[in-house]
């Protein structure tokens, strides 16, 4: 039993180290979306170490490795690596919090106002580093949005994905504005339109009142010219 545990741990560590090193190599570099490249690398090295265990199973029958060991190694490696990858490297690659803390850390003991940090986020993270362009490219690549001439629209898969996130937001109490930012914009437009209509109506009523008063009293018209 101990030798089986050592084999699993050894192959897991070898796969983990090789997977990390792979990010510094051209391996699957054609996949320019960091998240997807990471998942492909995890699957790739999961298959490699599983094949290695399979070779040991054939050549060293005394180890008593079974198909169950092969499946256990592959599944455990992919699951653990994926959880770590999505929670740490991916967070570092796209997190606003990590950027903000890194910006403050690079500035030593300097103090910032909230407005200065907000300006730095917009000018550096969004504009200079192309944060929006990266996320936009990801959605094009995954097919959640598509190009139609010189404009873009959401696809059926994109709509289905948002329905899924609507459910998640309700279950976990996530701020609905993050899922439906368009509704707030629509409400604002409705409010501004309503205000404009109300203003026009008030002016029209005032004009009507002035006209009625002028008919009754010509002196009123001369006074309010």
Mean pLDDT of 190-199: 51
Cα 109 to Cα 55, 114, 162: the distances in Å are 56, 16, 42
Mean pLDDT of 151-164: 96
Confidence band, pLDDT 50/70/90 cuts, at residue 160: very high
Domain co-membership, 57 together with 121: no
- Judging by beta carbons within 10 Å of its beta carbon (0-12, 13-18, 19+), is residue 70 exposed, middle or buried? middle
pLDDT at 204: 47
Domain co-membership, 48 together with 21: yes
Domain co-membership, 134 together with 198: no
Domain co-membership, 81 together with 57: yes
The DSSP secondary-structure symbol of 23 reads: T
Domain co-membership, 104 together with 90: no
Domain co-membership, 88 together with 144: no
Domain that holds residue 70: 2-94
Confidence band, pLDDT 50/70/90 cuts, at residue 222: low
Q: For the chain, how many structural domains are there in total? A: 3
24 has a pLDDT exceeding 80: yes
Higher pLDDT among residues 43 and 191, named by residue = 43
Domain co-membership, 47 together with 73: yes
**DSSP string for residues in 75-87:** HHHHHHHHHHHHH
The structure's pTM equals 0.74
Domain boundary among 78, 94, 110: 94
Domain co-membership, 126 together with 204: no
Confidence band, pLDDT 50/70/90 cuts, at residue 203: very low
pLDDT at 207: 54
Domain co-membership, 156 together with 88: no
Domain co-membership, 144 together with 211: no
Domain co-membership, 49 together with 81: yes
Domain boundary among 65, 94, 123: 94
Mean pLDDT of 24-43: 96
Residue 90's closest CA among 35, 40, 39? 35
CA angle 61, 4, 78 (to 5 degrees): 110
């Amino acid at each position: 039993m101990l030798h089986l545990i050592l084999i699993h741990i050894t192959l897991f560590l070898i796969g983990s180290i090789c997977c990390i090193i792979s990010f510094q190599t051209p391996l699957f570099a054609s996949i320019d979306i960091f998240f997807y490249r990471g998942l492909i690398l995890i699957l790739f090295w999961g298959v490699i170490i599983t094949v290695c265990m399979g070779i040991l199973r054939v050549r060293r029958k005394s180890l008593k490795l079974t198909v169950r060991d092969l499946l256990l190694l592959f599944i455990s490696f992919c699951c653990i690596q994926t959880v770590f990858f999505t929670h740490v490297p991916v967070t570092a690659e796209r997190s606003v919090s990590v950027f903000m803390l890194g910006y403050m850390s690079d500035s030593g003991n300097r103090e910032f106002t909230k407005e200065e940090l907000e300006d730095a986020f917009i000018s550096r993270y969004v504009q200079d580093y192309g944060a929006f362009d990266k996320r936009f490219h990801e959605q094009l690549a995954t097919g959640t949005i598509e190009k139609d001439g010189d404009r873009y629209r959401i696809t059926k898969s994109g709509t289905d994905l948002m329905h899924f996130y609507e459910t998640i937001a309700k279950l976990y109490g996530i701020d609905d504005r993050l899922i439906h930012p368009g509704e707030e914009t629509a409400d604002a437009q409705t409010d501004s339109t309503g205000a404009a209509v109300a203003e026009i109506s008030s002016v029209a009523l005032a004009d009507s009142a002035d006209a009625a008063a002028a008919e009754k009293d010509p002196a009123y018209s001369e006074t309010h010219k």
